[in-house]
Amino acid sequence: MKRTPLKVAIGAICFVNLLYMIPSVAVSGMVAAFPDQPQNTVLLLLTLPNLTGIAGIVAEPWLEQRFSRRQLSITALAVFFVSGLVSFVLRENLPALIAASMVMGAAYGMQATLYPLLVNDGFEGEERSRVMGMVTGMLQLGRVAATLVGGMLARQGWYNVYLCFLAVLVPLVLAVLFLPKKSHSEEGPKEDGDWFSLSGAVRLAVEGFAFAALFYMVNTHLSLYVEGYGLGDTALTGVISAVGCVLAGLISTVFAWFERHTGRFTMTWAFGILGALYLAGGLWISLPGAVLCVAGAFLGMGLFSPNLMLGFSRCAGPRRLAAVTAAVLTVVNVGYFASPYITGFLAGFVGESPADVFRVAGVLGLACALGSALASRKPQAPLQAAQQKAR
C-alpha cells in the first residue's frame, strides 16, 4: 500500500513547524514598536516559545491517553495558526503578543513530538529511514523559506511576519484528509507494545543533549565570528546561515542512503563531522573558516536529527514510544538552553573569542564522536529480544 499522501501530510507539518521562530527576522522593528517597554520584555516574543515548547513536549504523552495522534496533530496545527493570526491582529498589544507566543510555543512542542511518532507508526524498515530523512529535511527547508519570505514581509512592517502563518492552513487540511484515525498502539493488544530499553533511552538523551549544546554554538557565535573578525556584515551572516539550513535539508533527504553505509555509527559521523569542521574553522580564521563552522553544524544536524527520531522506536514499543520521545526531546531542548552557559564556563579557561569557542567545541565534538563510536561497537539487541525481556 502506497502512503504518499501520508508522507506529504507529515512533510507539510514539518515544513511549517519552525514558524514560531519567524519574529527573529524583525527584531529591530519589534523593539522599535514598543519604545516604552524594556528590550528584554519585548524579546520574550523570541524566548518564550522555546520554554513553552518544552511544556508541549511533556504534555503530549499525557494527552495521547485521551486523544488520538490525528486529533492532537490537527489541534496543534489549528492552535499554531490561530496564535499567528492573533499576533498579527493584536500587533500593538504586547501582553497579547506574549500570550500568543506562549501558546504558539506549546503547539510547536506538541508538533515536534508528534511528527516522529507519526513516521515511526506509519512506516517500517528502510522506508521509515527515507521518510524520516525527508521530513526532517523539510524542517530546515521550511526554516529557510520562512526566513526569506518573512524578511521581505518585514520591510513593510515588522508584524507582517505573522502572515507566514497562513501557510499552516495547507498542512492543517492535509492532516484532516490523510492522517490515520488510529495509530498502531491504539489498534494492537496492550502487551504487544509494552516494552522499553532504559539504556537505549539514556544513550539517546545523552547524545541528544551533547549534540544540541554543540550545535547551538554556531547560532550564538557565527555573527561574532563573521562580524567580529571583519569578514562581513549581518547580511552575510544570514546568507551563510541560510546555506547551512539548505545543507541540513539536503543531507537529511539522503539520510537512508547514508545510514545504509554507516549503520549503527551514524551518530558517530554526525559528531565527527561537526567536531572536525568546527576545529578547522576555529584554526583557520577567515570567511572560508566561518563557512566550515556552519557546514559542520548543519551537516551534522542533517544526520543527527533523523537518526535521533528513528532511535525512539528502537528503545520503546508503540505504547511507550510517546513517553520516551517526549523525555528525550525535553533533554535535547535543555541542551539548546544550556549551550550559552556551557560556552561561558569554557570561556573562563580557553578564552572568549569566537575562534576559541569553535576550537574547543570542535575538540569536544570529536571526543563525543569517539565516545559514540565506543558505545556503538556492540550491536544493540534486536527489538524482539528487548520486547521479550520487558515481558
C-alpha span between 124 and 318 (Å, rounded)? 13
Burial class of residue 233, CB neighbours in 10 A (0-12, 13-18, 19+): exposed
- Which of the residue ranges 1-5, 15-19, 85-89 would you say has the lowest mean pLDDT? 1-5
pLDDT band at 390 (very low <50, low <70, confident <90, very high): very low
C-alpha span between 74 and 63 (Å, rounded)? 13
CA angle 133/212/23 to nearest 5° reads 85
Spatial contact of 135 and 107, defined as CB atoms under 8 Å apart: no
Give the pLDDT confidence score for residue 384 in this predicted structure.
45
C-alpha span between 179 and 379 (Å, rounded)? 34
Q: Which SS3 state, helix, strand or coil, does residue 316 take? A: strand
Sequence-distant (6+) residues with CB within 8 A of 120 are: 128, 309, 310, 312, 313, 321
Q: Which SS3 state, helix, strand or coil, does residue 172 take? A: helix
Whether the predicted model's global pTM rises above the 0.75 cut: yes
Q: Which SS3 state, helix, strand or coil, does residue 196 take? A: strand
Q: What cell does 238 get?
A: 544570514
C-alpha span between 78 and 71 (Å, rounded)? 11
C-alpha span between 366 and 388 (Å, rounded)? 36
C-alpha span between 19 and 357 (Å, rounded)? 29
pLDDT band at 186 (very low <50, low <70, confident <90, very high): low
- pLDDT greater than 60 at residue 313: yes
C-alpha span between 275 and 296 (Å, rounded)? 7
- pLDDT greater than 50 at residue 387: no
CA angle 214/259/211 to nearest 5° reads 10
Q: Which residue's entry shows cell 508541549?
A: 56
Q: What cell does 261 get?
A: 553505509
Spatial contact of 274 and 214, defined as CB atoms under 8 Å apart: yes
Domain 198-376+383-390 has CATH 3.20.20.70: no
pLDDT tens string 25-54: 787 788 889 999 888 888 888 878 888 999
Helices (H), the chain: 4-16, 27-33, 39-42, 44-64, 69-89, 94-122, 125-154, 169-178, 184-187, 198-228, 234-253, 255-262, 266-283, 287-312, 318-350, 354-375, 383-390
Q: What cell does 156 get?
A: 513593510
pLDDT tens string 81-112: 999 999 999 999 999 999 999 999 999 999 99
pLDDT tens string 228-258: 888 887 677 778 888 888 888 888 888 888 8
CA angle 127/130/136 to nearest 5° reads 135
From the list 142, 281, 173, the residue with the least C-alpha distance to 221 is: 281
Amino acid (1-letter code) at residue 371: G
Burial class of residue 380, CB neighbours in 10 A (0-12, 13-18, 19+): middle
- pLDDT greater than 50 at residue 1: no
Q: Would you tell me the crossing angle of helices 255-262 and 125-154 to the nearest 10 degrees?
A: 130
pLDDT band at 385 (very low <50, low <70, confident <90, very high): very low
By percentage, how much of the chain surpasses pLDDT 90? 45
Portions of the chain given CATH number 1.20.1250.20: 4-185, 198-376+383-390
pLDDT tens string 315-365: 878 778 888 889 998 998 888 878 878 887 877 777 778 898 899 999 999
Q: Looking at the domain that runs over 4-185, which CATH code has it been given?
A: 1.20.1250.20
From the list 142, 144, 133, 148, the residue with the least C-alpha distance to 167 is: 142
Spatial contact of 45 and 23, defined as CB atoms under 8 Å apart: yes
Spatial contact of 111 and 13, defined as CB atoms under 8 Å apart: yes
Q: Which SS3 state, helix, strand or coil, does residue 232 take? A: coil
